Structure 1
Amino acid sequence: MPFNQTKDVFEQARKFHHKLSEFYENLKDSAERERTRALLDYLSRHEQYLESCLEEFMQDVSRNVADSFLQYGPDASTLKAISSFQIKSSMEVEDVVAAAMHFDACLIKFYREMAEKTQNSKVREVFENLLIMEEHEQMELSKTTMELGLLDEKLVLEETI
């Protein structure tokens, strides 16, 4: 049984946001349409912001919570979704949003899994707060793309279910 500390799990999530930012940034070079490049730029900067928020969050969490040991660590496959996601040679806006929704779903699953596995109520509360934050991020992405007229509403709703 792996025994990860809560701070190790936070670091894993922070690295995930960092990799997502790089992923979106690297996709900008292959994007043919300006609209797609603009969305990728937004997503890259947004992931950088989330990474820094998580870093600040890690510093603000009590040492007692951060140093808590978890009997069951996260499922490693949950955050490896970047490498397993099918990247098309030419991604359109819809493909980028589908990727973003997929990655948000992976983080939601990750935080939910950690909240369910922990025995410490304070640690559980931290993961539940991160879960709520990530669910909010997914809804905001859906809302933003619909407001900008980037996607058909039906496609966004299918991706969030």
Structure 2
Amino acid sequence: MELKTFKDLIDWTRTLHHHMATCLAHCASEHQEERARILLDYLATHEAELEKLVTAFERESDVKALKTWIYDFLSHKPIETHRTCDLPYTHMGFDDICREIFDFHDQIIDLYQNLQDRAEIPEAREMVENLLNLERHEAMRIAREVGRMQDV
């Protein structure tokens, strides 16, 4: 997907969360370890919720901000994820899955932080700040839930 505008960025983010939700759910059904399966199910549900939140966010966003061009996106390193979902999480333990998911969300947060710092119009800056806050909040929520799972 070629990212030219902030609308493209939001569509791309939604697609990432959708892909991650689908992949995690698929891997959960195939994993041998019960604890990892529970984690993958939780993460899949959470990523599906994030996809819906991003969809709602786009509907409520300022049209001017959505149409704003992203000039320097290509200078940011691309987000790495298991794009083909060849069941990568079925071969990982609980801690490795956590590291992967936290890294995935950290990459999105870093991207939004970078774009917020470079946004040229106030509407775009505010929109990216809101996306950044959403991703940060959801990453903290995942961390809390994963912490609870580790305590069990």
Structure 1-normalised TM-score?
Answer: 0.80
Aligned to 1:97: 98
**Offset of residue 29 of structure 1:** 3.4
SS, match of residue 4 in structure 1: coil
For 2:111 and 2:100, the matched residues in 1 are separated by 17
Contact 1:4 1:71 in 2 (8 A): yes
Structure-2 change in CA distance of 1:75 and 1:27 (3 Å)? farther
Change (3 A) 1:112 1:58: same
Separation in structure 2 between the aligned mates of residue 80 and residue 147 of structure 1, nearest angstrom = 27
Q: In structure 2, give the amino acid aligned to 1:111.
A: Y
- Alpha-carbon distance in 2 for matches of 1:119, 1:53: 25
**Match of 2:82, SS?**
helix
Q: How does 1:111-126 map to 2 (within 5 A)?
A: 111-126=112-127
Unpaired runs of 5+ residues, structure 1, are 152-161
Shift of 1:82: 3.0
d(CA) in 2 for partners of 1:29 and 1:3? 33
Structure 1 residue 63: Cα displacement: 1.4
Identify if the C-alpha distance between structure 1 residues 97 and 3 changes in structure 2 by more than 3 Å, giving closer, same or farther.
closer
Query: Cα distance, 1:90 vs. partner?
Result: 2.4
Hey, what does 2:16 align to over in structure 1? 16
Point out the more displaced range, 8-17 or 72-81.
72-81
Distance 1:145 1:65 in 2: 35
Where structure 2 has 5 or more consecutive residues not aligned to the other structure, the ranges are none
Say whether 1:72 aligns with 2:72.
yes
Call closer, same or farther: CA 1:43–1:117 in 2, change over 3 Å.
same
Question: Which stretch of the first structure deviates more once superposed, 91-100 or 26-35?
Answer: 26-35
What percentage of aligned pairs have identical amino acids?
22
The letter of the residue matching 1:18 is H
8 Å CA contact 2:24, 2:89 repeated in 1? no
Cα separation, partners in 2 of 1:39 and 1:150, compared to 1, 3 Å: farther
For 1:5 and 1:89, the matched residues in 2 are separated by 36
Structure 2 contact 18–48 (Cα < 8 Å) conserved:
yes
Aligned residue type for 1:79: I
Q: How big is the shift at 1:114?
A: 1.5
Q: CA deviation at 1:128?
A: 1.3
Distance 1:38 1:69 in 2: 41
